[in-house]
Amino acid sequence: MFTEEQIQLYMQTFNVPRDEAIARLQMQFLGLSGGQGSGLVYLGEEPKSTPGPKGRGTKTRVVPNTKSKQETYNLFWTDENIQNQITSYQTAIGRENLGKPGGYELWKAIVDQSAEIYNGGAGTKLTPLQILSMSAGAAGINTVDTQRQIRKYDADVLKEVAQSIALKKRGAMLTDEELSEAISLADSMIEKGTVTTTKKVRNPKTGKIESVSTTTPGFSQETFDVKLGKKLEEDSPQLVQRRKDIQFMDALSEILAGGQ
């Protein structure tokens, strides 16, 4: 029912012999654990932004992201990524015939294990997806590898970039309040980072394990230009239109001058 990786992880985390580890895991899988449906599940860490001193800029800190067991159970039905990974794992261990009901029970067992590790006071933190990846690795398929890169940017440089975008877009610099909002917009993009996710899935046609990578960009001057430009269009439509008219007339003058 459980992989050797799961059993060894449980034994090491709770310092229990193999038989007891297997018994506890089976109880969790069957829904007989006394902690069933209670306790928090650790889902990783996330940046949390709060207003800086006197409303200037933002202050960011990293905090644990947790949900209740029941909320995390329900992610199986609402998060397509989780369901796909569970399905891939079922295929890897030859239990695809159990379908979604069996996949849901497997996910619940993994969530229970993650919750017990997090609430057990051992200082260990493993998300359900990390446990799933470890189990999938033991089965010969690493379902997902996510890498996040967050690059720091100098605040003065960001301000210069924001003012440059404003001048280009509407022909007028940002006020102090608008500049603060623009920097907050940039910070929210920076905090997301550049995320590269690599999944190893079994090709249903060939039966081989293949890697599929996707990259979601975080902050770049190009994306900041687009988002801040859109905000300026919404906040200052008349200035933006006036700037477009001036640019058109300038371009027209150049054309006419070149024809002489």
Per-residue pLDDT of the chain (260 residues; tens, 9 = 90+): 566 766 776 676 566 777 777 766 665 554 434 344 457 888 887 777 777 666 666 666 777 788 888 899 999 999 888 888 888 777 767 777 788 888 888 898 889 888 888 876 555 678 888 888 777 665 555 555 667 777 778 888 889 999 999 998 898 999 999 999 999 999 888 888 777 777 766 666 665 666 677 777 778 888 889 999 999 999 888 888 888 888 788 777 777 776 55
- Asked if 249 and 135 sit in the same domain, the reply is no
Q: Which residue has the tokens 């990974």?
A: 85
Residue 21 confidence (pLDDT): 74
Last-in-domain residue among 140, 164, 198: 140
Q: What is the pTM of this model?
A: 0.42
Task: Note whether 92 and 184 are same-domain residues.
Answer: no
Q: Are 234 and 163 members of one domain?
A: yes
Residues 136 and 162 in one domain: no
**Does 153 share its domain with 114?**
no
Range of the domain at 181: 143-260
Question: For residue 137, what pLDDT is reported?
Answer: 60
Same domain, 98 and 211: no
Q: CA quadruple 16, 19, 23, 28: dihedral positive or negative?
A: positive
Same domain? 98 vs 152 = no
Residues 221 and 181 in one domain: yes
Q: Which of 85, 111, 140 lies at the terminal end of a domain, its last residue?
A: 140
Question: Domain check: are 159 and 246 in the same one?
Answer: yes
Residue 96 has a pLDDT of 74
If one counts the domains in the chain, the total is: 2
Residue 145's pLDDT is what? Answer: 63
| Confidence (pLDDT) at 244 | 84
Final residue of a domain: which of 90, 105, 140? 140
CA gap 166, 146 in Å, rounded: 35
Domain co-membership, 156 together with 222 = yes
Q: Indicate if 150 and 128 belong to the same structural domain.
A: no
Burial class (CB in 10 A: 0-12, 13-18, 19+), 165: buried
* Identity at 222, one-letter amino acid code: E
Q: Are residues 160 and 125 in the same domain?
A: no
Residue (of 195, 191, 196) closest to 153 by Cα position: 191
* Residues 6+ positions from 133 with CB-CB distance below 8 Å: 142, 143, 144, 145
